[in-house]
Structure 1
Amino acid sequence: MKRNEFIKISGIAGLSLAIFPQFSFSNFSEGFTRNQLIGKGNPDIVGDSYTSKMHKTAKEAFNKMKAAAAKENINIEVVSAYRSFQRQKEIFEGKYKRFTNEGLPPEKAIEKIIEYSTIPGTSRHHWGTDIDIIDANAPRPANVLMPENFHGNGPFCKLKMWLDDNAEKFDFYEVYTDNGNRKGFKYEPWHFSYAPVSIPMLKEYKEKIDVKKMLSEEKILGNEYFSEGFVSKYLTENILDINPKLIP
């Protein structure tokens, strides 16, 4: 390699590490297939259930975070991790059928679904980098994934305070933050993402996936109501209006 080429490459790597000092530069040059990006198969996923399946490097980091929390008598339990395209399709279409059968117009049914649930092919859980977590040592309410459980006198307050202080040390970041100016999905204090993998995956998702075309090709129920305007708004608000630290 010529000296000038080496200096140029070294400079780029140095800039990357300056911007993301906790992440390895190599993580940002990995390529992902369409199937990996939309949840239709990923050889890097390990585990045998919907609560244990994760991207292999995310799982390593999670195990370290779980061990650290255990020292504070916090038992981090994953209630949802990797979610396949097919599973997300079942969730979305089940809600779509229920809401429309109850009398909601299709457009309103979709609006209601995407308050918390993603359209299949667009979920961060497809990547194996994102987890929904609670504290198994705390009393378990009937509906665990509710914001009030993580604040005030909620059973998972201790977990939330610990995550606020420690999650980023293990490269996990809250995705849908409690920010009044943020649009898209509502606040989810239980949802964390492993940034060294999810950041490059989001970058490639933006570059490679034509969401409207993908939803049509995959024949998602209700896709005829996904207009250009709807998809553009969904991309801007639901996929990209997240914690700024997770934006490529």
Structure 2
Amino acid sequence: MTAFSQEPDKSYLLGRFNPETDARFVKPADEHTAGAARSQYLRKETYEAFVKMAEAAATDGVRLVIISATRNFETQKSIWERKWQAEATIANEADRAKKILLYSSMPGTSRHHWGTDMDLNDLNNDYFESGEGLKIYQWLTAHAHEFGFCQPYTSKDKGRTGYEEEKWHWSYTPLSVPLLEAYKKTVSLKDISGFKGSETAVQLDVIKNYVDGVACK
């Protein structure tokens, strides 16, 4: 676990910063990215560990590709509010939020804010259950921990709360574990604001049930 010389500031934990101008972040090389990730950033430590992992995977015939990396508050707000509008037929706002929260975070609560988490290869669990996708997932579950990575959103069969399983989402734990602890100490539900439906954060207790609903601790 990484020990921070000082506690991360609240704006960083909430994603209210620009990773493009933050010296802690780096833009991954095109050879390691596709889609939206081509214009996104990661914490330097995260990317360095990913490169080592990708090189090891390649020797086993597995190609790992980052398809989504750091998303700050504004990017997450755009995603959330698009889905909020798309689910407008759900009149009860708490129910609407819960529907979106199956796979998407409220702005200010996403692990993607921190530069520690990435989505790999495909955004569908089905992809990782057969063929090339299964080979990739089996490699990750066997070896990702050797490079500091963990799947935060595993099956909920053992009582994990929050988001549904995401076989594509991997987190660099030497940074993300202490950042989660800092988040729980520093951020309160009243800080989850500034987007449509934010009032439901308190009702759904999103810090306890979603932010902390992870397998990587």
**TM-score strictly above 0.5:** yes
Candidates 71, 75, 88, aligned match of 2:63? 75
Candidates 146, 167, 184, aligned match of 2:162? 184
SS at structure 1 position matched to 2:204: helix
Count of aligned pairs: 203
1:205 maps to which residue? Answer: 183
Larger radius of gyration: 1
Q: Matched residues in 1 for 2:203 and 2:196: separation? A: 18
Q: Which AA in structure 1 matches 2:167?
A: P
8 A contact 1:148–1:154 mirrored in 2: no
Q: Matched residues in 2 for 1:184 and 1:225: separation? A: 14
Candidates 163, 184, 192, aligned match of 1:215? 192
Q: Matched residues in 2 for 1:171 and 1:186: separation? A: 22
2:47 maps to which residue? Answer: 59
| Structure 2: unaligned runs, 5 residues or longer | none
The percent identity for this pair of structures is 32
8 A contact 1:92–1:120 mirrored in 2: yes
Q: 1:165 to 1:224 in 2, by over 3 A?
A: closer
Q: 1:116 to 1:154 in 2, by over 3 A?
A: farther
SS at structure 2 position matched to 1:126: helix
Q: Matched residues in 1 for 2:51 and 2:199: separation? A: 42
Q: Which AA in structure 1 matches 2:146?
A: K
TM value normalised by structure 2:
0.87
**In the TM superposition, what is the alpha-carbon distance from 1:154 to its structure 2 partner?**
4.4
Q: Matched residues in 1 for 2:90 and 2:213: separation? A: 30
Matches within 5 A, 1:79-228: 79-100=67-88, 102-134=89-121, 144-151=122-129, 153-180=130-157, 181-210=159-188, 212-216=189-193, 219-226=194-201, 228=202
| Structure 1: unaligned runs, 5 residues or longer | 1-22, 135-143
Of structures 1 and 2, the one scoring higher in RCO (CA 8 A, sep 6+) is: 2
Deviations 1:37-83 (A, max 9, x none): 11122521111795251101011000000111111121101111111
8 A contact 1:55–1:129 mirrored in 2: yes
